[in-house]
Structure 1
Amino acid sequence: MRTQEKNLDMPNAHLHELFVDELKDVLGAERQLLKGLKKLANAALSDQLKEAFNAHYEQTEGHIERLKTVFEDLGLSARGKKCKAMEGLLEEADEIVEEFQDAPEVLDAALIAAAQKVEHYEIATYGCLVTYAKLMEHTTAQELLALTLSEEKETDELLTTIALESANLGKQK
């Protein structure tokens, strides 16, 4: 990938190729996550955790739409690429479901652990993207990506709350 001529005038243009590559990666990751969230919701025992996964599914659809807007704002087509990190995290989540499906007292705690690994990956990715957008003065991208970053942090906090109030205690809510 080469930085296009028109992008050489922007501040910190050296970050452009990295920024676009990371956008493609996170778009692929979000699409992969949609499938993973369905599996997590189906495996969850507590209604509260099922609802959290289903709500994040809907939120993830919005994240994908925001990413498409970012690509459009940059004059690029919204093409994702397979995210190897997300692939690995979702494979691990599948293993957790399989490993703990016969241990109801710990299954939801294990699912939350798997989901929080995903959230932390997304938080790190969106944090970098927000920084790159800011440095390159891509204001629209910065605002949209910051909104997604905020939602990812809220989801992580919700999962922590569910873990502390019920899942880690072996309680179903």
Structure 2
Amino acid sequence: MATTAKKTTVRKTPAKKDAAKELKDLFEDGLKDIYWAEKALVKALPKMHKNATNEKLKNAIVQHLKETEGHVSRLEECFKSMGKKAQAKKCDAMQGLLDEADSILKETEPGTVRDAGIIAASQKVEHYEIATYGTLAAFAKVLKEKVALKNLLATLEEEKQCDKSLTKLADTNLNVKAK
């Protein structure tokens, strides 16, 4: 059975005037993006903490807040090592993830179901950060930005560990209790 698909015209997206022309430009844009994301997360985590009820989850959020503050400092060091001023550029992806997390809080009753939702939202954030730091580390390696590479890889490992910890917390019985 043959299917026919409607033909659509796909056009190339024109580049903005300030579009990245080289990998270094794309790298710097990525750093600005994740810098904004980490700073936004520093503001969002206390709300997650306040809404969590499970003590282990609350402790994990406190731990991640401390790490996130360190991520902000590492990113500032990356900018400095490149002779640039640390600059944040709104990260639409992180804004969307944080908006979704806020919706989860509003759409769940306090208790284990909300805690499961907080973990789910947190893991989406972690996965975004893991993808971003992995990509930026690959760029830093090619660009021979050694200080940035060291900092990005250190943060990448912390993000992976946080994701594992959240999975363990959810799997140890929190999700079952939320059932």
One fold, TM greater than 0.5?
yes
Alignment of 1:139-150 (within 5 A): 139-150=146-157
Alpha-carbon deviations, 1:37-84, whole Å to 9, x = none?
Answer: 111111111010001011100100000000000000000000111111
Task: Indicate the SS of the match to 1:101.
Answer: coil
Greater shift in the superposed pair: 67-76 or 31-40: 31-40
1:130 equivalent among 106, 123, 137: 137
Structure 1 gap ranges (5+): 4-12
Q: Distance in 1 between matches of 2:149 and 2:25?
A: 16
Pick the structure with greater CA Rg: 2
Q: Distance in 2 between matches of 1:49 and 1:166?
A: 12
Structure 1 residue 2: Cα displacement: 7.6
| Residue 58 (structure 2) aligns with | 50
Structure 2 gap ranges (5+): 1-17
Alignment of 1:72-91 (within 5 A): 72-91=80-99
8 A contact 2:97–2:125 mirrored in 1: yes
1:14 equivalent among 15, 22, 36: 22
| Residue 124 (structure 2) aligns with | 117
Q: Distance in 2 between matches of 1:37 and 1:74?
A: 29
Structure 1 residue 170: Cα displacement: 1.3
| Residue 100 (structure 2) aligns with | 92
Decide whether aligned partners of structure 1 residues 73 and 2 sit closer, same or farther in structure 2, where only a CA change above 3 A counts.
farther
Letter in 2 for 1:155: C
Decide whether aligned partners of structure 1 residues 93 and 2 sit closer, same or farther in structure 2, where only a CA change above 3 A counts.
closer
1:29 equivalent among 20, 37, 49: 37
1:107 aligns with 2:107: no
Instruction: State TM-score, norm by structure 1.
Output: 0.89
Task: Indicate the SS of the match to 1:115.
Answer: helix
Q: How many residues align?
A: 161
Q: Distance in 2 between matches of 1:138 and 1:115?
A: 30
Letter in 1 for 2:94: M
Structure 1 residue 95: Cα displacement: 0.6
Q: Distance in 2 between matches of 1:143 and 1:2?
A: 27
Task: Indicate the SS of the match to 2:107.
Answer: helix
Task: Indicate the SS of the match to 1:100.
Answer: coil
% identical equivalent positions: 45
Which of the pair is proportionally richer in helix?
A: 1
Letter in 2 for 1:41: H
Instruction: State TM-score, norm by structure 2.
Output: 0.86
1:158 aligns with 2:145: no
1:61 aligns with 2:69: yes
